Structure 1
Amino acid sequence: MARPLLGGQDGGKDLTGGPAGPGPSPSCYAAGPSSRQTSLQENLVIPRLTCLTSAAALLAGAAVAQTSFDRVASFATPLNRAEGEDRAAESSAEIIAATDDGLTLVYTDSPLGALGRIDITDPAAPKPLGNVALEGEPTSVSVLGTTAFVALNTSESFTEPSGALLALDIASGEERGRCDLGGQPDSVALAPDGSFLAVAVENERDEEVNDGALPQMPAGHVAILTLAGGLPDCAGLVRAELTGLAEVAPEDPEPEFVDINASGEIAVTLQENNHVVLLSRDGQVIADFSAGAVDLEGVDLTEDGRLSFTESQPQRLREPDAVQWIDDDHLAMANEGDWNGGARGFTVVDREGRVVHESGASFERAVAALGHYPEGRSDSKGVEPEGLAFATFDGTPLLFLLAERASVVGVYDMTDPAAPVLLQLLPSGVSPEGAVAIPSRGLLATANEADLGGDGLARAHVMIYQRHEGAPAYPTLTSEGTAELLGWGALSGLAADPARAGTLHAVSDSAYGAEPRLFTIDTTQHPARITGAVTVTRDGAPAEKLDLEGIAADGQGGFWLVSEGHADEGVPQALLRVDAEGVIAEEIAFPEGLLAEGRFGSEGVAVVDGTVWVAMQRPAEGDPADRTKLVAYDPAAQSWGAVLYPLSAPAGEGWVGLGDMAAQGDWLYLVERDNQAGAAAATKLVTRVPVADLRPAPLGGELPVVPREVVRDLLPDLRATGGVVLEKVEGLAIQPDGTAWLVTDNDATDDSSGETMLWSIGALD
C-alpha cells in the first residue's frame, strides 16, 4: 500500500441551517444509468461552522432521529516532527489504527520511515505525540492494547524483497519484538479476539518491467503469527502459499489486503490477479474465487475536459484492493483496480464468491453530484475506491468506502448486505488511504496520504469525524436531484440573479475547457442545489479557449463573463456578453496594454451604472508591486479606463491578489486572497471600495488609487469546517436583499481535495 501515488498505486505524496427532507437512497441514485454484476498548529483546533447549510440530500428517509458524521479536526503530519527537524520535508499518513481505549491514533508515514502518533483525548483538538523512527518503509499497522504491529518493507529490490513485522510499544516507541516475514509486506490484520495476526506479503511487481505485467517473481504469500503474551511467536510463523489459485498469473499471486472475521477466517485479495482467497488461521485454503467483472454504464471514460456520464464499459475487472468482513458470511471489496481493471465501486460477496450486491457506477455518480469527480482520471479508474473500514455504531453496521482520487468517504448502512444504503459522503484530505472507526467514542479517523508540499498547497493530514444527531454539514452544494447527472467543479465566479430571489449563477474555469458552463444554483434548499447548466457556445458549438473567472448579470437577461486567459496555452483574455442560454453575443478583446503575461489576468466582473468593471488578479507589468488594476469598460463608448486597487502585503510565502467582485448600493465589494492553503493561509478577505471613487483614468497614464476597507476576514469561516483551509475563494455574489454568498474553487480535484465550500456571510452593511 505504501507506494508512489503518481504510479497509480496505494501510497504516496500530499495535502483542509436547517435540516433538509429525506433524499434518495443509492438505489434511487442509480435509477438512471446502472450497472450489472502561518503555524501548522492552526490546523489542530477547528470548531464547526454552524452557519453552513446542512446536507441531508444523501440520507435515506427514516423514522428514527437522523445521525451523521461531521469533521471536527484535522492534524497535519508535519506537526509530529521534533523541534529542529525539517517540517518542510515530505511526510504522509497512510494506514491508521487506534489504541483499544480510542484515545491514541497511530499511522504509517512511508516517506519519513516512521510511525506517527496522535493524542485524541479531545478529538476536536488532536495533539502531536511525535514519530517513532523505523529502519525501513512502514506499509501497514494494527493495534492490540497499547502495542502497534507494524509491517515494515526493507526490500533492496523487487527481485529480492524482504520485510519484517515489528511489535512496538506505542507510548515509548520501544521495539518489543520483530519477526522476519520472508518478503515485502503490504497489509496486516489482527484477529478480533486478539489471538493472531495475518500479513499479506505482496512481493509487488516492478511496473517498469514488461509494462508491469505479471508474472514477476518471487511470488507473494500470507504470513500468520500467533500472539503469545501480546507478542508475535516468530518461531511458529505459518507461511500460507497462494500459487495455483488465480486465473490471472496463478504462479505469481500478489496478496494486497487481509481481514479476519470473528471465526478466525482470513480474507485476502490478490488485486493484480483479480482473485480472493479465504484461509483458516492455520493457513489452509478454505475457498477461493475470481473477483469477476462488472458491466459499467453511465460513466465518463474519456479525459476530454468534459463531464459526461454517458459511456459504458463492459466486463471491467474488479481488481479489489481493500476487503472487509461484514459478518462471518459476507465480504465487501473496494474495486480500485490496478493493472487491467478498476470497477469504480464496491461489491458484497458471500463466502463462496457469489455477488450479493454490486454498487456499479452508483458511488461514483454520487461523488460527481458533489463536484468531487476527477475528470483527469476518466480514462483510467475514475474515483478509485481503495480503502475500507467497518464497524457497528449504536447497533447500525457501517461501511466506510474511501475514494483515493475523489478524496471522499462514503458511509453505508450495511444492515442488509444485499441492499447497502448510502447515508452520506464525507470530505477528506487529498487521497484517503486508510481509516479507523472508534464506535465506543462515536469517532472515525482517516489517513490522507498526499503531501502536496510547497507553493502554498496543503500537507498530508489525519482527519477526525464525530457522530452526532442531526443533518451533516457537508456538502454545502450538490447537483443531486437533477433529471440527468450534472457533473460540476472548479467554480470560479459567482453572481446573483437580479430577478429571482435565492438564485445564484456560477461559471467553471479552464479545468473543463472543452465545455465552459454556466450553472444555476438554488440557495433556498439545503444543501444548495445546482438545478441546471448551459454550455457557453460560439457559432453553435462549445466555445473552446475560454478560462471563465467571473460572471455578472448584464441587465438584459444575459451575463457579462470574463476569461482570464493563459497566453502559454493560446487562451486569450476577453470580456464576453452571453444570453441566458450561453450563446456569445459579443466578444471584446482586451486592449494591448491590459494583456497579462501567462495567467493572473481578469478574475472578476461587475456592472456599476452601466459600466463593466473587471478585476485584474495581480499587478501587471508597470504596476506597483502592491497594486492591481480595476478596469472599466464603457459599452456605449467602447472605451477603456482603470483605477489602481491597493493589495494587502503577503504575510509569508506566495502572493496576494483579487478573486471576484460584486456591486451593491454605494459599494463595490471584492474578494482579496493569498495563494496559500492550510496553515500557511493568511489573507482571505472581503473588502469594499466606494462607488463614488471609481473614476477611471485612461490607460497608459497615471491611474488613481482607490481607498479600500476590510469588511470581513474569511479565515474563521474557512477554518470552521474542521478541514484544511481552502486556498481559492473565487466567487462573490450579493443578492438583491444584500445577502452575500461566497464559493471556493476546488481545482477539479487536481492537487486538491475536491472540496467546495458555498456559504453565506449574511447581509452586508
Structure 2
Amino acid sequence: MKLKHLLPFAIMAILAACSKDDNPNEPTVNEDPSTFAEIGTLDIGEAGAAEISAYDPTTKRLFVVNNGGVNKIDVIDLSDPGNMKVIHSIPTNSGAVNSVSVYEGKLAAAIEAVDKQQPGRVTVYNTNSYAEIKTIATGALPDMVTFSPDGKYILTANEGEPNADYTNDPVGSVSVISVSDNYSVVNIDFSSFASQQTALQQKGLRVFGPNASFAQDMEPEYIAVSPDSKTAWVTLQENNAIAKIDLTTKTATNIFPLGFKDYNQDADAIDPSDKDNAIAFGKWPVKGIYMPDAIAVLQTDGGIPYLFTANEGDVREYTAFAEAKRVKSLTLDATAFPNAADLQNDAKLGRLNVTTTLGDVNGDGIYESLYSFGARSFSVWNGTSGALVYDSKNELETKVNAAGYYDDNRSDDKGVEPEGITLGKVGNRNIAFVGMERVDAVAVYDVTKPEAPSFLQLLKSGDAPEGVLFVSAANSPTGKSLLIVSSEDDGVLKVYSPKTL
C-alpha cells in the first residue's frame, strides 16, 4: 500500500487500525470471506494430539498441544502453509498441556498436575529459543490460557474438576498473572456470589455437585478478554453461565445465568434419536441447556461487547455421581406428558440423554420437564447485561445435514456439538468460525451485524475439531487471512485461506 497517495485523514485511520504486529509493508487485501478453502494439512499424531494451537507471527511458528503420547508442544514451521513440518517439540514433563497462547515472543502453556485436583501451572517459553522464562502456579486444572490483547496479563480458566469419588472437589477459579510484575498471580474464585445462589438458579444457573460449596461447583472453561484488556468473560460450562471479571481490580463482578432453549419451537427443531433410521428435525417438549465451551468477544463502535459462545454442553460423569439418563428410563409426569409412553419410544425421545438434576420440581422422582445438554448452536450475548442477542437456532444442524455431514449417531446426545469459536476480520467484514466436534466441520458466518449473523459456508475438518485459530492477513506468512483448525481425535491440522477479490 502506497500511503503517499492517500489523504492525510485516511493515513491516520490506517495507522490507527494497524496492530503492533502488523507488517509495515502490508499489501492491500480485499478478501471474500465466503471462499475459504483448504491450502495445507499436517498429521502430527494420534488421538490427543493437535487439540489447541497458537501462532507466533515473528517466527512464523505454530505451537500445537500434543498429548498423544509424551505430553509436549509441537513446533511447526508455518512459513509455507502448504508445506508445514514439525521442527521441534517442547516437553512439558509431568501433566498434560491443555492450552497455549502467544504474545510478542512469549508462549504460555496451561499444564495440569498429574493429580488433577492439585494446583496446575502456566509455563512461559521464548518462541524463538524455546527456553523456559517462568513457571507460575495456578488453580486446579487450568483448562485454557490466553494473553490479554495488551500482553499485560496471562489468564487461565481453572476448571477444578472433582476426583472420581467426589471426595475432593477443588474450587474453580481464574488465575490472572501480571507479566510485568514478575508474573505475580491472583486467583479469583466465585465464593462472593454464594449468597445469590437461589436467585441465580432461578435464572438458569446450575449448582448441583454432591456436597460442593458454591465456589467448588463453579467450573471455568474458557476466557475472552475485551480489546482494552480491562474486562474478561469466562464460561462456566457445567453451570450454564458466563462470569464477568474486572481485570483492573481483579475481582469477579457478575455471573450471567444463560437460561434454557425451547426445542418445542419450529426454528429450534432437533432430531433427538439415533434409532429412528432417519435424520428428521422436529419439535419436542425438551429444553436445551446452553452450557457453552469457547467464547469470543466483538466490541462494536457503539461500545457494546458482544459475546459469542459455542454451546457444546457437558455432562458430569463420575464414579460417585453421574447426572445423565435417557428419557426412556425416567418416570414422566402424566399431566405434563400425557403421551409419555409414546414419547419414550427409542425412535422418539427415549434415547435422548437428559440431566436428572433438573425437571423434577418436588423431588419425587417424577419429571415434569426435560433438560438436555447443550443447545446445538452458537449464541451472541450482551457482555454488559448478559442478555441473549442472537441464537443460531437449528441452522448449524440443518446446514450440516444439507451438506451430508450430519452424524445421526450423535442425535441422542448433543447433536453437532459446537465446541470452538473464534472471530476475525476478513477484508472489511467481521467473521465467526464455529467448530463442530461431532461432524468434523467448521461453519463460517458473517457477524458484521452481531445481532444478525449470516451463514457463509461449511469447511470440512479433521476428526473432532477442537481449536479454531484465525490469523489476520497482516500477521499471516502468506499475506492472506488464515484459518487453522486443529482436531484432537486424529491429530490433523488443516489450514484454510480465502480468495482475494
TM-score (ref. length: structure 1): 0.48
Q: Does 1:193 find its partner at 2:164?
A: no
* Match for residue 349 of structure 1 among 368, 373, 381: 381
- Pairwise mapping of residues 168-183 of structure 1 onto structure 2 (< 5 A)? 168-183=125-140
Structure 2 counterpart of 1:261: 226
Query: 1:216: Cα distance to partner?
Result: 6.3
Deviation by residue 1:352-372 (Cα, 9 ceiling, x = unmatched): 111110112111111111111
SS of match in other structure, 1:418: coil
Structure 2 counterpart of 1:434: 467
The answer to whether the Cα contact below 8 Å between 1:155 and 1:184 also exists between their aligned partners in 2 is no
Query: 1:66: Cα distance to partner?
Result: 7.1
Query: 1:65: Cα distance to partner?
Result: 6.4
Structure 2 counterpart of 1:220: 172
SS of match in other structure, 1:237: strand
Structure 1 residues 267 and 467, CA gap change in structure 2 (3 angstroms): same
* Match for residue 337 of structure 1 among 297, 308, 313: 313
Query: 1:313: Cα distance to partner?
Result: 5.0
Structure 2 counterpart of 1:301: 272
Structure 2 counterpart of 1:466: 497
* Match for residue 233 of structure 1 among 166, 182, 186: 182
Deviation by residue 1:373-409 (Cα, 9 ceiling, x = unmatched): 1111111100100011111122211111000001100
Residue identity in the other structure for 1:223? S
Structure 1 counterpart of 2:108: 149
Question: Quick one: distance in 2 between partners of 1:319 and 1:396?
Answer: 28
Question: Quick one: distance in 2 between partners of 1:74 and 1:404?
Answer: 18
Question: Quick one: distance in 1 between partners of 2:59 and 2:38?
Answer: 17
Structure 1 residues 356 and 123, CA gap change in structure 2 (3 angstroms): same
- Pairwise mapping of residues 337-486 of structure 1 onto structure 2 (< 5 A)? 337-339=313-315, 340=355, 341-351=373-383, 352-440=385-473, 441=476, 442-451=481-490, 460-469=491-500
Deviation by residue 1:451-500 (Cα, 9 ceiling, x = unmatched): 3xxxxxxxx21111111147xxxxxxxxxxxxxxxxxxxxxxxxxxxxxx
The answer to whether the Cα contact below 8 Å between 1:155 and 1:162 also exists between their aligned partners in 2 is no
Query: 1:290: Cα distance to partner?
Result: 0.5
Residue identity in the other structure for 2:190? L
Residue identity in the other structure for 1:314? V
Structure 2 counterpart of 1:103: 60
Question: Quick one: distance in 1 between partners of 2:33 and 2:251?
Answer: 44
The answer to whether the Cα contact below 8 Å between 1:117 and 1:128 also exists between their aligned partners in 2 is yes
Structure 1 residues 185 and 329, CA gap change in structure 2 (3 angstroms): same
Question: Quick one: distance in 1 between partners of 2:485 and 2:47?
Answer: 19
Query: 1:130: Cα distance to partner?
Result: 2.3
The answer to whether the Cα contact below 8 Å between 2:225 and 2:297 also exists between their aligned partners in 1 is yes
Identity of aligned residues (%): 28
Question: Quick one: distance in 2 between partners of 1:65 and 1:72?
Answer: 16
Structure 2 counterpart of 1:651: none
- Pairwise mapping of residues 664-683 of structure 1 onto structure 2 (< 5 A)? none
Deviation by residue 1:548-570 (Cα, 9 ceiling, x = unmatched): xxxxxxxxxxxxxxxxxxxxxxx
Residue identity in the other structure for 1:278? K
The answer to whether the Cα contact below 8 Å between 2:124 and 2:134 also exists between their aligned partners in 1 is yes
Deviation by residue 1:631-650 (Cα, 9 ceiling, x = unmatched): xxxxxxxxxxxxxxxxxxxx
Deviation by residue 1:112-141 (Cα, 9 ceiling, x = unmatched): 310011111111111221211111210011
Structure 1 residues 73 and 266, CA gap change in structure 2 (3 angstroms): same
Structure 1 counterpart of 2:361: none
The answer to whether the Cα contact below 8 Å between 2:32 and 2:498 also exists between their aligned partners in 1 is no
SS of match in other structure, 1:168: strand
- Pairwise mapping of residues 250-649 of structure 1 onto structure 2 (< 5 A)? 250-251=214-215, 252-264=217-229, 265-281=231-247, 282-296=249-263, 297-304=268-275, 305-312=277-284, 314-327=286-299, 329-339=305-315, 340=355, 341-351=373-383, 352-440=385-473, 441=476, 442-451=481-490, 460-469=491-500
Question: Quick one: distance in 2 between partners of 1:110 and 1:435?
Answer: 18
Question: Quick one: distance in 2 between partners of 1:134 and 1:216?
Answer: 25
Question: Quick one: distance in 2 between partners of 1:321 and 1:391?
Answer: 19
Higher Cα radius of gyration: 1
SS of match in other structure, 1:124: helix
The answer to whether the Cα contact below 8 Å between 1:345 and 1:361 also exists between their aligned partners in 2 is yes
Q: Which has the higher contact order (CA 8 A, sep 6+)?
A: 2
Deviation by residue 1:52-81 (Cα, 9 ceiling, x = unmatched): xxxxxxxxxxxx967511001111104xxx
Residue identity in the other structure for 1:301? P
Residue identity in the other structure for 1:356? V
The answer to whether the Cα contact below 8 Å between 2:139 and 2:172 also exists between their aligned partners in 1 is no
Question: Quick one: distance in 1 between partners of 2:296 and 2:33?
Answer: 26
Question: Quick one: distance in 2 between partners of 1:233 and 1:382?
Answer: 45
Structure 1 runs (4+) greater than 6 angstroms displaced = none
Shifted more, 329-338 versus 388-397: the winner is 388-397
SS of match in other structure, 1:276: strand
Question: Quick one: distance in 1 between partners of 2:33 and 2:90?
Answer: 40
Residue identity in the other structure for 2:253? I
Q: Does 1:122 find its partner at 2:80?
A: yes
Structure 1 residues 131 and 237, CA gap change in structure 2 (3 angstroms): same
- Pairwise mapping of residues 73-112 of structure 1 onto structure 2 (< 5 A)? 73-78=40-45, 92-101=49-58, 103-111=60-68, 112=70
Query: 1:171: Cα distance to partner?
Result: 3.1
Query: 1:101: Cα distance to partner?
Result: 3.7
Question: Quick one: distance in 2 between partners of 1:271 and 1:450?
Answer: 21
The answer to whether the Cα contact below 8 Å between 2:59 and 2:128 also exists between their aligned partners in 1 is no
Structure 2 counterpart of 1:132: 90
Query: 1:311: Cα distance to partner?
Result: 4.0
Query: 1:103: Cα distance to partner?
Result: 1.9
Query: 1:293: Cα distance to partner?
Result: 1.1
TM-score (ref. length: structure 2): 0.72
CA RMSD of aligned residues (A): 2.0
